[in-house]
């Protein structure tokens, strides 16, 4: 097994002098990998252990790994997870906690390699879970042996090794380890697959693990071909900003249904969405409604006529309220501000500018509210209807700035001015909405 691990690490250019961070739970898998690294004479092994605080045995496991590292002069880091802070899926949130913990160590130690002890049985279980829950082509292939992150690699040297062989190696080499009794509970989907489904499959074919590896390779090769098509579409049709992805409905629907799913999985891979989640988003894209705004599974989905926006965070409604009471500049957001300056004898046609009487300050600058109406020479009109008629997208509607005095709307900046302004005399100031660019 040492030879397999060494060949694996050589393939990814991990040298004996390199710092390697290994996640150690004290279970048989991670203790075996840790032992092998020491036998191979890796010189800069760093151990990371998370005490999840769920089992009373966790205290003994933490003490064990601390003593183990002291005795072997291994550098180690310990973190404690408070299970009371987790409200939803414990396994998923604990996994996210571990990754953040590992990343903090990698950064602190300037380490480029994170080693995890997932094995072939883990891989088979993951693939079956994805089939049950639904995924994309890549997801069905299970766990990656190598994941290229921005500043480090996640490596899984035991991914093609069966659990039974790891246990045998541990016994043959007198490796001490702890067993987590929660792995025997049928409460978790993975455990039910491990204890009931996979044994039945192996009863049908004792070489199932070999067939699984063939299946995995086939999916991975097919996925590469599919990803080339997805990458081409994303390069040509998808725009990315710091806040969202943008593409048109027409371009997206030109893809086959299969590729629509694959593209969204690729764009939203950090959200851990299921196939059912992706299909729901596709329904929203296909919707006949011209404007939609939905927060779905932490993705902010916005549809403005034929334009689709996928925000990286839940899309909260923009709110702004400011008393304008003097000359000067009043920031709205990073791109816009209201500027009040002294102006005399000027005719204003620009809808972003209002000529006003300084003696009638202060006025209110704010975002719109339900029921807002503006007065024109022909009568009043709902601000929401004005913006719809102007074909203002739903996200921009939320950011439109209204000028108000004594509960009367003076202007919807950029879109309409009230006839009230025509009756104001002795105007001497300009109130102007200034934009750094047109993307707000």
- pLDDT tens digits for range 28-47: 999 999 999 999 999 999 99
Query: How far apart (Å, rounded) are the C-alpha atoms in residues 16 and 4?
Result: 15
In a domain, 55, yes or no: yes
Instruction: List all residues 6 or more positions away from 380 whose beta carbon is below 8 Å from its beta carbon.
Output: 373, 374
Measured between alpha carbons, how far is residue 355 from residues 1, 364, 410, 432 in Å?
81, 15, 11, 9
Last residue of a domain, one of 173, 204, 235: 204
CA distances from 141 to 80, 116, 145 (A): 32, 18, 11
Evaluate whether 315 touches 293 at the Cβ level (below 8 Å): yes
Half-sphere exposure of 39 (CA within 13 A, CB side): 14
Q: Based on the fold, state whether residues 73 and 168 are members of the same structural domain.
A: yes
Q: What is residue 438's predicted lDDT score, i.e. its pLDDT?
A: 55
Same domain membership, residue 134 and residue 68: yes
Domain of 62, CATH number, reads 3.40.50.620
> If DSSP codes are grouped into helix, strand and coil, which group holds residue 425?
coil
**CA 384, 321, 400: angle at the middle one, nearest 5?**
35
Burial 227-244 (b: 16+ CB within 10 A, else e): beebeebbeebbeeeeeb
- Estimate the share of the chain in helix, then strand, then coil, as percent rounded to the nearest 5: 45, 25, 35
Do 179 and 287 belong together in one domain?
A: no
Of 407, 435, 251, whose CA–CA distance to 333 is shortest?
Answer: 435
- Per DSSP, the three-state class of 373 is strand
Q: What is the pLDDT of residues 54-102, one digit of tens each?
A: 788 899 999 999 999 999 999 999 999 887 777 777 778 888 899 999 9
In this structure, are 38 and 181 located in the same domain? yes
Instruction: Say what the pTM is.
Output: 0.72
Instruction: Fill in the DSSP letter of residue 318.
Output: P
- Other Cβ atoms within 10 Å of 162 Cβ, number: 14
Same-domain pairing of 300 and 326: no
The stretches of 145-207 forming alpha helices (DSSP H) are 163-172, 189-192, 198-204
In this structure, are 45 and 171 located in the same domain?
yes
pLDDT at 61: 95
Dist CA 338 CA 434 (whole Å): 6
Q: Cis peptide leading into 362, omega within 30 of 0? A: yes
For 108, the token pair is: 């602190």
- Return d(Cα 427, Cα 342) in angstroms, integer: 10
User: What percentage of the chain reaches a pLDDT higher than 70?
Assistant: 98
How confident is the model at residue 397, as a pLDDT?
Answer: 85
Q: How many domains does the chain have?
A: 3
Segments forming the whole domain that contains residue 235 = 213-311
In a domain, 353, yes or no: yes
The pLDDT score that the predictor gives to residue 440 is 47
> How far apart, in whole angstroms, are the C-alpha atoms of residue 30 and residue 412?
63
Decide if 316 is inside a domain: no
Residues 185 and 53 in one domain: yes
Amino acid 233: pLDDT: 97
The helix (run of H) or strand (run of E) holding residue 206 is none
**Spans in the chain with pLDDT lower than 70:** 315, 345, 437-440
Three-state SS for 97-109 is: HHHHHHHHHHHHH
Q: DSSP readout, 109-151?
A: HT--EEE----HHHHHHHHHHHHHH---HHHHT---SEEE-SS
The answer to the question of residue 440 being in a domain is no
Residues 383 and 293 in one domain: no
One domain, residues 343 and 280: no
Residues 332 and 360 in one domain: yes
User: Angle at the Cα of 407 (from 404 to 412), degrees rounded to 5?
Assistant: 35
- 200 and 217, same domain (yes or no): no
Task: Judge whether 97 and 23 are in contact, CB under 8 Å.
Answer: no
DSSP 392: -
Shared-domain flag, residues 269 and 329: no
**What is the CATH classification number for the domain harbouring 266?**
3.30.465.60
Inside any domain, residue 114: yes
């Amino acid at each position: 097994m040492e030879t397999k691990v060494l060949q694996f690490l050589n393939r990814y250019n991990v040298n004996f002098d390199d710092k390697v961070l290994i996640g150690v739970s004290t279970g048989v898998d991670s203790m075996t990998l840790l032992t092998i690294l020491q036998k191979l004479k890796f010189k800069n092994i760093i151990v990371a252990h998370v005490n999840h605080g769920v089992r009373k045995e966790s205290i003994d496991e933490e003490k064990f790994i601390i003593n183990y590292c002291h005795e072997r002069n291994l550098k180690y880091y310990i973190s404690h997870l408070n299970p009371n802070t987790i409200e939803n899926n414990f396994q998923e949130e604990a996994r996210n906690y571990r990754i953040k913990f590992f990343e903090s160590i990698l950064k602190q130690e300037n380490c480029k390699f994170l080693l995890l002890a997932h094995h072939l049985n883990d891989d088979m279980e993951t693939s079956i879970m994805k089939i049950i829950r639904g995924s994309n082509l890549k997801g069905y292939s299970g766990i990656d042996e190598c994941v290229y992150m921005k500043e480090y690699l996640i490596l899984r040297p035991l991914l093609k090794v069966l659990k039974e062989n790891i246990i045998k190696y541990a016994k043959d080499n007198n490796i001490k380890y702890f067993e987590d009794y929660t792995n025997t509970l049928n409460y978790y989907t993975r455990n039910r697959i491990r204890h009931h489904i996979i044994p039945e499959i192996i009863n049908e074919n004792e070489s199932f693990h070999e067939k699984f590896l063939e299946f995995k390779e086939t999916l991975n090769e097919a996925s590469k071909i599919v990803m080339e098509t997805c990458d081409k579409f994303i390069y040509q049709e998808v725009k990315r900003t710091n806040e969202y992805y943008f593409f048109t409905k027409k371009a997206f629907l030109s893809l086959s249904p299969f590729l629509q799913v694959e593209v969204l999985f690729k764009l939203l891979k950090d959200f851990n969405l299921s196939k059912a989640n992706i299909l729901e988003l596709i329904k929203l894209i296909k919707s006949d409604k011209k404007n939609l705004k939905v927060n779905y599974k932490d993705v902010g989905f916005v549809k403005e006529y034929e334009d689709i926006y996928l925000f990286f965070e839940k899309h909260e409604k923009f709110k702004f309220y400011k008393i304008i009471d003097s000359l000067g500049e009043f920031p709205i957001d990073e791109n816009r501000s209201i500027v009040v300056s002294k102006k005399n004898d000027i005719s204003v046609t620009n809808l972003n500018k209002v000529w006003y009487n300084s003696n009638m300050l202060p006025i209110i600058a704010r975002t719109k509210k339900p029921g807002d109406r503006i007065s024109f020479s022909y009568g009043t009109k709902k601000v929401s209807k004005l913006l719809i008629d102007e074909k203002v997208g739903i996200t921009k509607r939320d950011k439109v700035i209204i000028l108000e005095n004594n509960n009367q709307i003076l202007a919807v900046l950029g879109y309409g001015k009230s006839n009230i302004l025509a009756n104001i005399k002795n105007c001497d100031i300009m109130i102007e909405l200034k934009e750094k660019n047109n993307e707000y």
